[in-house]
Amino acid sequence: MSRKLGIFGYPIGHSLSPVFQQAALDHHEIDARYEAWETHPRELGEAVACLRGCEYLGANVTVPHKVEVMAHLDEVDEMARLIGAVNTIVKRGDRLTGHNTDAGGFVEALRQAGGFDPRGRRALLLGAGGAARAAAFALVREGASELVIANRTLERAASLAVELGGRNRGVTAISLHDAAAIGETTSSADLVVNSTTVGMRHTPEQDTSPLPDCVLGSGSVVYDMVYNPARTPLLAQAELAGATAVGGLSMLIHQGAAAFELWTGKRAPVEVMFEAAERAMKGM
C-alpha cells in the first residue's frame, strides 16, 4: 500500500516541501507520496483527523496553522511546547504527536551553511513571530551569551525576552524603529538573523532590507530565513559589508530532513533534498 505525507498550510502553492521531500522518499525507494494540502483554518481539525488513517505517515504544518494544530494532536513534545508551535506531525499507531524541527533545523543550518556555533556568541534576532520563537529558543539552548530581539512591536519582543529568561539569561528586547539601538546592536553582533518577511519575493517589501545601510560588521554571520529570492536585499547588504551571508533554504532543508527522519527512521539524503529544491527555485 502506498503511504501518504503532506503539508498543511493556507495558502500552500509556494511550498518547496513537496519537491524536496518527494526527492528524499524516491531516493530511499519508499512507496509514498508527499503532497501539498491547502487547508483553510476552519477545516484544520477535520484535515488532521484524516491522518489517523492507516495510509498516512504524518505531515508538516506551516502558516497559519502551527499553533492551532496543537489542539488536534494527542501529544506534543517538549521543544514544540516550549516554542508554542508544531511544524511536524508523526503518526505512531493511531496516535498523532507534534514536534518542532525548526529550532534544530536552524542550528544545523548555522553550523553547516554558516560555519557558526552560537555558544558564547552575541546574536541579534529581527522579528518575534513563530519563526523567531524557534530561533530564539534554539540560540538560548545552544548557549548564546547575548540575544537581542528586535521587533516593530516592542511589547511582543519584550514578552518573548521575558519568556526566555530575560536579563538573567542575557535576553533583551529593542524596537526595530529605534535606529540608534539597532545600529549599535548590529555592529557588535556575531550573528544577525532575519525572521521577518521583509525581502521576500512577491511581497510589498521584496526590495527592502530590514536593517539600515552601513550597520553590519564585517566579521558577523547574517542569516536570512527568507529563501525566495536566494539573494535577498539583506544578504546583498551583508556581502557588501564583508559579512558571511547565508540564505534561508538551508534551514528549510534541515528542518525538513529532521522531519523525514522522524517519519521514516531513515537518514535524510540532505544533498538530494537541496538539489531538488534548488532546481525548483530556478523555475520560480
Catalytic machinery residues: 66
Burial class (CB in 10 A: 0-12, 13-18, 19+), 70: middle
Report the chain's terminal Cα–Cα distance, integer Å: 33
Amino acid in position 20: F
Strands (E), the chain: 3-9, 32-38, 58-61, 75-76, 88-92, 95-99, 122-126, 146-151, 171-175, 191-194, 221-224, 244-246
3-state secondary structure of 233: helix
Nearest to 228 by CA among 15, 39, 3, 18: 15
Label residue 94 exposed, middle or buried (CB < 10 Å: 0-12, 13-18, 19+): exposed
The conformation of residue 200, written as its DSSP 8-state character, comes to: -
